[in-house]
Structure 1
Amino acid sequence: MSWPHSHAQLEELGQALVANGAGLFTAYEVGFGDLTVTAQLPRIVEAMARLRDGERFEVLIDVCGVDYPERERRFDVVYHLLSMSRNLRLRVKVQTDEDTAVPSITPVYPNADWYERETFDMYGVFFDGHPDLRRILTDYGFHGHPLRKDFPMTGYVEVRYDDELKRVVYEPVQSVEWRNWDFLSPWEGVERGVNPLPGDEKAADAAKGG
Protein backbone atom coordinates (compact mmCIF):
# COMPACT_ATOMS: atom_id res chain seq x y z
CA MET A 1 0.00 0.00 0.00
CA SER A 2 1.35 3.41 -0.91
CA TRP A 3 0.52 6.30 1.39
CA PRO A 4 -0.22 9.76 -0.05
CA HIS A 5 2.49 11.19 2.17
CA SER A 6 5.76 9.53 3.09
CA HIS A 7 6.89 8.86 6.63
CA ALA A 8 9.50 11.60 6.27
CA GLN A 9 6.87 14.14 5.18
CA LEU A 10 4.65 13.30 8.15
CA GLU A 11 7.66 13.55 10.48
CA GLU A 12 8.43 16.98 9.03
CA LEU A 13 4.87 18.18 9.56
CA GLY A 14 4.80 16.84 13.12
CA GLN A 15 8.07 18.59 13.96
CA ALA A 16 6.80 21.84 12.45
CA LEU A 17 3.54 21.76 14.41
CA VAL A 18 5.35 21.21 17.71
CA ALA A 19 8.12 23.73 16.97
CA ASN A 20 5.98 26.48 15.47
CA GLY A 21 2.67 25.92 17.22
CA ALA A 22 3.28 28.46 20.01
CA GLY A 23 2.97 25.70 22.61
CA LEU A 24 -0.36 24.40 21.32
CA PHE A 25 1.12 20.99 20.51
CA THR A 26 3.39 19.17 22.92
CA ALA A 27 4.33 15.98 21.05
CA TYR A 28 3.77 13.99 17.88
CA GLU A 29 4.19 10.46 16.56
CA VAL A 30 3.97 8.81 13.17
CA GLY A 31 2.68 5.29 12.81
CA PHE A 32 0.93 3.18 10.18
CA GLY A 33 0.95 6.08 7.75
CA ASP A 34 -0.78 8.49 10.14
CA LEU A 35 0.39 11.55 12.05
CA THR A 36 -0.86 12.03 15.61
CA VAL A 37 -0.21 15.19 17.60
CA THR A 38 -0.87 15.80 21.29
CA ALA A 39 -2.45 19.13 22.20
CA GLN A 40 -2.82 21.01 25.46
CA LEU A 41 -6.27 20.50 26.94
CA PRO A 42 -7.03 24.12 27.89
CA ARG A 43 -6.01 25.33 24.40
CA ILE A 44 -7.70 22.72 22.24
CA VAL A 45 -10.06 25.26 20.63
CA GLU A 46 -7.11 27.46 19.69
CA ALA A 47 -5.22 24.43 18.39
CA MET A 48 -8.14 23.38 16.22
CA ALA A 49 -8.56 26.88 14.81
CA ARG A 50 -4.88 26.92 13.88
CA LEU A 51 -5.14 23.55 12.16
CA ARG A 52 -8.22 24.63 10.23
CA ASP A 53 -7.03 28.07 9.17
CA GLY A 54 -3.26 27.77 9.14
CA GLU A 55 -2.79 24.13 8.07
CA ARG A 56 -5.93 23.76 5.91
CA PHE A 57 -7.54 20.88 7.79
CA GLU A 58 -11.01 21.92 6.70
CA VAL A 59 -13.00 18.86 7.77
CA LEU A 60 -13.62 17.32 11.17
CA ILE A 61 -14.29 13.63 10.55
CA ASP A 62 -14.86 12.35 14.08
CA VAL A 63 -14.42 12.89 17.81
CA CYS A 64 -14.13 9.82 20.03
CA GLY A 65 -12.78 8.65 23.36
CA VAL A 66 -10.33 6.03 24.62
CA ASP A 67 -10.36 4.78 28.21
CA TYR A 68 -7.18 3.96 30.14
CA PRO A 69 -8.57 3.37 33.66
CA GLU A 70 -5.11 2.74 35.13
CA ARG A 71 -4.05 6.34 34.35
CA GLU A 72 -4.77 9.35 36.52
CA ARG A 73 -6.11 11.15 33.45
CA ARG A 74 -7.88 8.10 32.18
CA PHE A 75 -9.39 9.44 28.96
CA ASP A 76 -7.96 10.37 25.60
CA VAL A 77 -10.27 12.55 23.53
CA VAL A 78 -9.28 11.96 19.92
CA TYR A 79 -10.09 14.24 16.98
CA HIS A 80 -9.74 13.12 13.38
CA LEU A 81 -9.21 15.85 10.80
CA LEU A 82 -9.02 15.84 7.02
CA SER A 83 -7.36 18.31 4.69
CA MET A 84 -9.06 17.85 1.34
CA SER A 85 -6.76 20.40 -0.29
CA ARG A 86 -3.65 18.51 0.89
CA ASN A 87 -5.11 14.97 0.76
CA LEU A 88 -3.95 14.47 4.34
CA ARG A 89 -5.42 13.16 7.58
CA LEU A 90 -4.38 14.19 11.08
CA ARG A 91 -5.19 12.84 14.52
CA VAL A 92 -5.18 15.16 17.55
CA LYS A 93 -5.31 13.90 21.15
CA VAL A 94 -5.85 15.49 24.55
CA GLN A 95 -6.00 13.84 27.96
CA THR A 96 -8.58 14.43 30.69
CA ASP A 97 -10.07 12.79 33.76
CA GLU A 98 -13.60 12.09 34.96
CA ASP A 99 -14.09 15.58 36.38
CA THR A 100 -12.19 17.94 34.08
CA ALA A 101 -14.25 19.24 31.16
CA VAL A 102 -12.77 19.52 27.68
CA PRO A 103 -13.47 22.83 25.90
CA SER A 104 -15.97 22.25 23.11
CA ILE A 105 -14.62 22.78 19.62
CA THR A 106 -18.06 23.52 18.16
CA PRO A 107 -17.08 27.19 17.59
CA VAL A 108 -14.41 25.94 15.16
CA TYR A 109 -16.08 22.84 13.74
CA PRO A 110 -19.88 23.06 14.22
CA ASN A 111 -20.33 19.39 13.30
CA ALA A 112 -18.50 18.47 16.52
CA ASP A 113 -21.90 18.91 18.21
CA TRP A 114 -23.11 15.33 17.89
CA TYR A 115 -19.61 13.82 18.08
CA GLU A 116 -19.02 15.43 21.47
CA ARG A 117 -22.45 14.33 22.65
CA GLU A 118 -21.59 10.75 21.70
CA THR A 119 -18.27 10.93 23.56
CA PHE A 120 -20.09 12.30 26.61
CA ASP A 121 -22.71 9.55 26.39
CA MET A 122 -20.29 6.66 25.90
CA TYR A 123 -17.43 7.78 28.18
CA GLY A 124 -18.81 10.47 30.49
CA VAL A 125 -16.38 13.13 29.24
CA PHE A 126 -17.79 16.63 29.73
CA PHE A 127 -17.41 19.35 27.10
CA ASP A 128 -17.41 22.91 28.42
CA GLY A 129 -19.29 25.35 26.21
CA HIS A 130 -21.19 22.71 24.27
CA PRO A 131 -24.57 24.12 23.16
CA ASP A 132 -26.62 21.03 24.10
CA LEU A 133 -24.64 18.42 26.02
CA ARG A 134 -26.96 15.45 26.61
CA ARG A 135 -27.05 11.78 25.78
CA ILE A 136 -27.48 10.86 22.14
CA LEU A 137 -27.34 7.04 21.84
CA THR A 138 -28.56 5.64 25.16
CA ASP A 139 -32.04 6.00 26.58
CA TYR A 140 -33.32 8.66 28.96
CA GLY A 141 -32.31 7.84 32.51
CA PHE A 142 -29.54 5.46 31.40
CA HIS A 143 -27.05 4.81 34.19
CA GLY A 144 -23.34 4.80 33.41
CA HIS A 145 -21.27 5.10 30.25
CA PRO A 146 -21.10 1.92 28.15
CA LEU A 147 -17.63 2.27 26.60
CA ARG A 148 -15.81 2.74 29.88
CA LYS A 149 -13.74 -0.35 30.57
CA ASP A 150 -15.21 -0.72 34.06
CA PHE A 151 -18.79 -0.78 32.73
CA PRO A 152 -20.31 -4.26 33.23
CA MET A 153 -20.96 -6.27 30.08
CA THR A 154 -24.55 -6.87 31.16
CA GLY A 155 -25.23 -3.24 32.02
CA TYR A 156 -27.11 -2.24 35.16
CA VAL A 157 -30.70 -2.54 33.96
CA GLU A 158 -32.59 -4.47 31.33
CA VAL A 159 -35.54 -3.26 29.30
CA ARG A 160 -38.58 -5.32 28.37
CA TYR A 161 -42.17 -4.83 27.33
CA ASP A 162 -44.66 -5.77 30.08
CA ASP A 163 -47.80 -7.16 28.46
CA GLU A 164 -49.87 -6.63 31.62
CA LEU A 165 -48.78 -3.01 32.10
CA LYS A 166 -48.79 -2.40 28.34
CA ARG A 167 -45.56 -0.44 28.52
CA VAL A 168 -41.80 -0.76 28.57
CA VAL A 169 -40.34 -1.38 32.03
CA TYR A 170 -36.80 -1.13 33.40
CA GLU A 171 -35.56 -3.77 35.81
CA PRO A 172 -32.23 -4.48 37.51
CA VAL A 173 -30.19 -7.10 35.68
CA GLN A 174 -30.72 -10.54 37.19
CA SER A 175 -28.41 -13.52 36.90
CA VAL A 176 -29.25 -15.36 33.70
CA GLU A 177 -28.88 -19.12 33.49
CA TRP A 178 -27.27 -20.60 30.42
CA ARG A 179 -29.74 -21.94 27.90
CA ASN A 180 -29.74 -25.59 27.00
CA TRP A 181 -29.38 -25.48 23.26
CA ASP A 182 -30.63 -28.33 21.10
CA PHE A 183 -27.48 -28.32 18.97
CA LEU A 184 -23.92 -29.21 19.80
CA SER A 185 -21.24 -26.58 20.07
CA PRO A 186 -19.41 -26.25 16.73
CA TRP A 187 -16.16 -25.98 18.71
CA GLU A 188 -16.61 -29.54 20.04
CA GLY A 189 -17.22 -31.15 16.67
CA VAL A 190 -20.30 -32.90 15.39
CA GLU A 191 -20.83 -36.65 15.25
CA ARG A 192 -23.51 -36.69 12.62
CA GLY A 193 -24.48 -40.33 13.10
CA VAL A 194 -25.01 -39.97 16.84
CA ASN A 195 -26.39 -36.44 17.00
CA PRO A 196 -28.02 -35.58 13.67
CA LEU A 197 -28.71 -31.93 12.96
CA PRO A 198 -31.70 -30.48 11.13
CA GLY A 199 -31.06 -30.78 7.41
CA ASP A 200 -28.94 -33.95 7.65
CA GLU A 201 -31.79 -35.90 6.10
CA LYS A 202 -31.37 -33.92 2.88
CA ALA A 203 -27.76 -35.04 2.56
CA ALA A 204 -28.85 -38.65 3.15
CA ASP A 205 -31.53 -38.38 0.51
CA ALA A 206 -29.06 -36.89 -1.96
CA ALA A 207 -26.63 -39.72 -1.34
CA LYS A 208 -29.37 -42.21 -2.13
CA GLY A 209 -30.20 -40.33 -5.31
CA GLY A 210 -33.58 -39.18 -3.99
Structure 2
Amino acid sequence: MSHPAPHIETPKGTVAAIKKALGKDLLAIEEAHGEIACHVKTDKLVGVMMQLRDTCDYQQLMEIAGVDWPDRDPRFEVVYCLLSLTKNHRIRVHVTTNEDVAVPSVTEIWPVAGWLEREVFDMYGVTFAGNDDLRRILTDYGFVGHPQRKDFPLTGYVELRYSEEEKRVKYEAVELAQDFRSFDFMSPWEGADYVLPGDEKGASK
Protein backbone atom coordinates (compact mmCIF):
# COMPACT_ATOMS: atom_id res chain seq x y z
CA MET A 1 0.00 0.00 0.00
CA SER A 2 1.48 3.32 -1.05
CA HIS A 3 1.15 6.47 1.00
CA PRO A 4 1.26 9.99 -0.42
CA ALA A 5 4.28 12.11 0.38
CA PRO A 6 3.74 14.54 3.26
CA HIS A 7 2.50 17.90 2.11
CA ILE A 8 4.88 20.70 3.02
CA GLU A 9 3.78 24.28 2.85
CA THR A 10 4.98 27.58 4.22
CA PRO A 11 2.92 28.94 7.14
CA LYS A 12 0.91 31.98 6.12
CA GLY A 13 2.64 35.28 6.69
CA THR A 14 6.13 33.78 6.96
CA VAL A 15 7.59 35.58 3.93
CA ALA A 16 6.18 38.94 5.04
CA ALA A 17 7.50 38.40 8.57
CA ILE A 18 11.00 37.60 7.32
CA LYS A 19 11.04 40.64 5.03
CA LYS A 20 9.98 42.87 7.91
CA ALA A 21 12.51 41.39 10.34
CA LEU A 22 15.52 41.53 8.01
CA GLY A 23 14.80 44.80 6.23
CA LYS A 24 17.65 46.06 4.03
CA ASP A 25 19.88 43.14 5.02
CA LEU A 26 17.70 40.87 2.86
CA LEU A 27 18.87 40.88 -0.76
CA ALA A 28 16.30 38.43 -2.15
CA ILE A 29 13.80 35.85 -0.97
CA GLU A 30 12.51 32.85 -2.92
CA GLU A 31 9.85 30.29 -2.12
CA ALA A 32 9.68 26.87 -3.77
CA HIS A 33 8.45 23.42 -2.70
CA GLY A 34 7.29 24.75 0.65
CA GLU A 35 10.75 26.04 1.55
CA ILE A 36 12.10 29.58 1.66
CA ALA A 37 15.57 30.69 0.56
CA CYS A 38 16.83 34.01 1.94
CA HIS A 39 19.82 35.69 0.29
CA VAL A 40 21.37 38.13 2.74
CA LYS A 41 24.37 40.43 3.06
CA THR A 42 27.42 38.50 4.21
CA ASP A 43 28.67 41.12 6.67
CA LYS A 44 25.20 41.28 8.30
CA LEU A 45 24.90 37.52 8.81
CA VAL A 46 25.07 37.46 12.62
CA GLY A 47 22.36 40.08 13.02
CA VAL A 48 20.21 38.34 10.42
CA MET A 49 20.49 35.02 12.23
CA MET A 50 19.52 36.59 15.55
CA GLN A 51 16.45 38.15 13.96
CA LEU A 52 15.44 34.83 12.40
CA ARG A 53 15.89 33.05 15.72
CA ASP A 54 14.29 35.57 18.04
CA THR A 55 11.70 37.31 15.84
CA CYS A 56 10.78 34.64 13.30
CA ASP A 57 11.13 31.61 15.61
CA TYR A 58 13.70 29.61 13.62
CA GLN A 59 15.38 28.24 16.72
CA GLN A 60 17.72 25.53 15.44
CA LEU A 61 20.69 25.51 13.08
CA MET A 62 20.53 22.13 11.37
CA GLU A 63 23.31 22.29 8.79
CA ILE A 64 25.85 24.50 7.04
CA ALA A 65 26.73 23.61 3.46
CA GLY A 66 29.11 25.02 0.89
CA VAL A 67 28.64 25.49 -2.84
CA ASP A 68 31.38 26.21 -5.37
CA TRP A 69 30.59 28.29 -8.45
CA PRO A 70 34.01 28.69 -10.17
CA ASP A 71 32.65 31.02 -12.86
CA ARG A 72 30.97 33.38 -10.40
CA ASP A 73 32.32 36.25 -8.37
CA PRO A 74 32.06 35.79 -5.41
CA ARG A 75 32.89 32.16 -6.05
CA PHE A 76 31.55 30.46 -2.93
CA GLU A 77 28.11 30.27 -1.40
CA VAL A 78 27.52 29.25 2.22
CA VAL A 79 24.05 27.91 2.97
CA TYR A 80 22.56 27.72 6.47
CA CYS A 81 19.56 25.43 7.09
CA LEU A 82 17.33 26.59 9.94
CA LEU A 83 14.42 24.79 11.57
CA SER A 84 11.47 26.23 13.45
CA LEU A 85 10.19 23.76 16.03
CA THR A 86 7.09 25.80 16.68
CA LYS A 87 6.17 26.16 12.99
CA ASN A 88 7.52 22.80 11.84
CA HIS A 89 9.14 24.62 8.93
CA ARG A 90 12.60 25.01 7.43
CA ILE A 91 14.31 27.90 5.64
CA ARG A 92 17.70 28.39 4.03
CA VAL A 93 19.95 31.41 4.44
CA HIS A 94 22.48 32.06 1.65
CA VAL A 95 25.58 34.25 1.75
CA THR A 96 28.37 34.61 -0.81
CA THR A 97 32.11 35.01 -0.32
CA ASN A 98 35.54 34.50 -1.84
CA GLU A 99 38.54 32.60 -0.54
CA ASP A 100 40.09 35.74 0.94
CA VAL A 101 36.90 37.13 2.55
CA ALA A 102 35.89 35.59 5.87
CA VAL A 103 32.25 34.88 6.68
CA PRO A 104 31.15 35.98 10.19
CA SER A 105 30.91 32.98 12.50
CA VAL A 106 27.56 32.17 14.13
CA THR A 107 29.09 30.14 16.98
CA GLU A 108 27.96 32.74 19.50
CA ILE A 109 24.35 32.01 18.51
CA TRP A 110 24.63 28.24 17.95
CA PRO A 111 27.76 26.58 19.41
CA VAL A 112 27.22 23.59 17.11
CA ALA A 113 28.19 25.86 14.23
CA GLY A 114 31.83 25.44 15.24
CA TRP A 115 31.94 21.90 13.84
CA LEU A 116 29.83 22.75 10.80
CA GLU A 117 32.00 25.73 9.89
CA ARG A 118 35.07 23.53 10.14
CA GLU A 119 33.55 21.15 7.60
CA VAL A 120 32.96 23.99 5.12
CA PHE A 121 36.48 25.29 5.71
CA ASP A 122 37.97 21.83 5.18
CA MET A 123 36.00 21.05 2.03
CA TYR A 124 35.99 24.50 0.36
CA GLY A 125 38.61 26.67 2.06
CA VAL A 126 36.06 29.25 3.22
CA THR A 127 37.17 30.95 6.45
CA PHE A 128 34.93 32.13 9.30
CA ALA A 129 35.81 35.21 11.34
CA GLY A 130 35.29 34.53 15.04
CA ASN A 131 35.73 30.76 14.94
CA ASP A 132 38.75 30.13 17.18
CA ASP A 133 39.05 26.43 16.27
CA LEU A 134 39.09 26.51 12.49
CA ARG A 135 40.99 23.28 11.78
CA ARG A 136 40.48 20.52 9.27
CA ILE A 137 37.93 17.98 10.44
CA LEU A 138 37.24 15.49 7.62
CA THR A 139 40.60 15.18 5.86
CA ASP A 140 43.88 13.84 7.20
CA TYR A 141 46.81 15.78 8.69
CA GLY A 142 48.85 17.45 5.97
CA PHE A 143 46.08 17.19 3.37
CA VAL A 144 46.64 19.49 0.40
CA GLY A 145 43.76 21.44 -1.12
CA HIS A 146 40.00 21.41 -0.56
CA PRO A 147 38.31 18.36 -2.09
CA GLN A 148 34.81 19.78 -2.72
CA ARG A 149 36.05 22.51 -5.02
CA LYS A 150 35.13 21.94 -8.65
CA ASP A 151 38.76 22.32 -9.77
CA PHE A 152 40.12 19.75 -7.30
CA PRO A 153 41.45 16.69 -9.20
CA LEU A 154 39.66 13.39 -8.55
CA THR A 155 42.99 11.75 -7.73
CA GLY A 156 44.03 14.45 -5.27
CA TYR A 157 47.48 16.02 -5.16
CA VAL A 158 49.25 13.59 -2.83
CA GLU A 159 48.91 9.91 -1.98
CA LEU A 160 49.60 8.07 1.26
CA ARG A 161 51.62 4.87 1.36
CA TYR A 162 53.74 2.84 3.75
CA SER A 163 57.45 2.73 2.87
CA GLU A 164 59.10 -0.62 3.64
CA GLU A 165 62.51 1.00 3.26
CA GLU A 166 61.88 3.82 5.73
CA LYS A 167 59.40 1.88 7.91
CA ARG A 168 56.96 4.76 8.06
CA VAL A 169 53.95 6.29 6.32
CA LYS A 170 54.85 8.74 3.57
CA TYR A 171 53.03 11.39 1.56
CA GLU A 172 54.07 11.52 -2.08
CA ALA A 173 52.89 13.23 -5.23
CA VAL A 174 50.28 11.22 -7.09
CA GLU A 175 51.66 9.18 -9.98
CA LEU A 176 49.25 7.46 -12.32
CA ALA A 177 51.60 4.88 -13.82
CA GLN A 178 50.15 2.37 -16.28
CA ASP A 179 52.04 -0.44 -17.96
CA PHE A 180 51.87 -0.67 -21.74
CA ARG A 181 49.14 -3.03 -22.82
CA SER A 182 48.28 -4.17 -26.32
CA PHE A 183 44.60 -4.91 -26.96
CA ASP A 184 43.52 -6.96 -29.97
CA PHE A 185 39.76 -6.69 -29.28
CA MET A 186 39.25 -10.29 -30.38
CA SER A 187 36.41 -12.39 -29.10
CA PRO A 188 37.66 -14.76 -26.37
CA TRP A 189 35.73 -17.56 -28.11
CA GLU A 190 37.72 -17.21 -31.32
CA GLY A 191 41.09 -17.49 -29.62
CA ALA A 192 44.22 -15.43 -30.06
CA ASP A 193 46.81 -16.08 -32.75
CA TYR A 194 49.72 -15.76 -30.34
CA VAL A 195 51.04 -18.16 -27.72
CA LEU A 196 50.19 -17.50 -24.10
CA PRO A 197 52.01 -18.96 -21.09
CA GLY A 198 50.53 -22.35 -20.34
CA ASP A 199 49.43 -23.13 -23.92
CA GLU A 200 52.11 -25.76 -24.17
CA LYS A 201 50.25 -27.91 -21.62
CA GLY A 202 47.27 -28.24 -23.93
CA ALA A 203 49.43 -28.97 -26.97
CA SER A 204 51.17 -31.88 -25.25
CA LYS A 205 47.93 -33.86 -24.83
TM above 0.5, yes or no, is yes
Query: What is the identity, as a one-letter code, of the residue corresponding to 2:46?
Result: V
Change (3 A) 1:50 1:19: closer
The CA deviation string for residues 42-82 of structure 1, in whole angstroms up to 9 with x for no partner, is: 01011111111111111111111000000110110000011
Change (3 A) 1:179 1:87: farther
Once the two structures are TM-superposed, the CA of residue 134 in structure 1 deviates from its matched residue by 1.0
Would you identify which runs of 4 or more consecutive aligned residues in structure 1 move more than 4 Å?
none
| SS class of match (2:71) | coil
Once the two structures are TM-superposed, the CA of residue 179 in structure 1 deviates from its matched residue by 10
Task: Output aligned runs, 1:26-65, within 5 Å.
Answer: 26-65=27-66
The CA deviation string for residues 153-206 of structure 1, in whole angstroms up to 9 with x for no partner, is: 1110000112232221101011232898xxxxxxxxxx9x949xxxxxxxxxxx
Pick which of 31-40 and 17-26 moved more.
17-26
Q: Does 1:5 align with 2:9?
A: yes
What corresponds to 1:157 in structure 2?
Answer: 158
| TM-score, normalised with respect to structure 1 | 0.79
Once the two structures are TM-superposed, the CA of residue 20 in structure 1 deviates from its matched residue by 3.8
Identity over the aligned pairs, expressed in percent?
46
Which protein is bigger by CA-based radius of gyration? 2
Query: What is the identity, as a one-letter code, of the residue corresponding to 2:172?
Result: E
5+ residue gaps, structure 1: 181-190, 196-210
Rounded to whole Å, the distance in 2 between the matches of 1:36 and 1:159 is 41
5+ residue gaps, structure 2: 182-186, 191-205
- The count of aligned residue pairs is 181
What corresponds to 2:87 in structure 1?
Answer: 86
Change (3 A) 1:56 1:178: farther
Once the two structures are TM-superposed, the CA of residue 4 in structure 1 deviates from its matched residue by 3.4
Rounded to whole Å, the distance in 2 between the matches of 1:51 and 1:78 is 15
Rounded to whole Å, the distance in 1 between the matches of 2:98 and 2:166 is 42
Task: Output aligned runs, 1:43-192, within 5 Å.
Answer: 43-177=44-178
| TM-score, normalised with respect to structure 2 | 0.81
| SS class of match (1:28) | strand
Conservation of the 8 A alpha-carbon contact between 1:159 and 1:171:
yes
| SS class of match (1:79) | strand
Rounded to whole Å, the distance in 2 between the matches of 1:128 and 1:118 is 15
Conservation of the 8 A alpha-carbon contact between 2:160 and 2:169:
yes
Rounded to whole Å, the distance in 2 between the matches of 1:105 and 1:173 is 37
Pick which of 66-75 and 168-177 moved more.
168-177
What corresponds to 1:203 in structure 2?
Answer: none
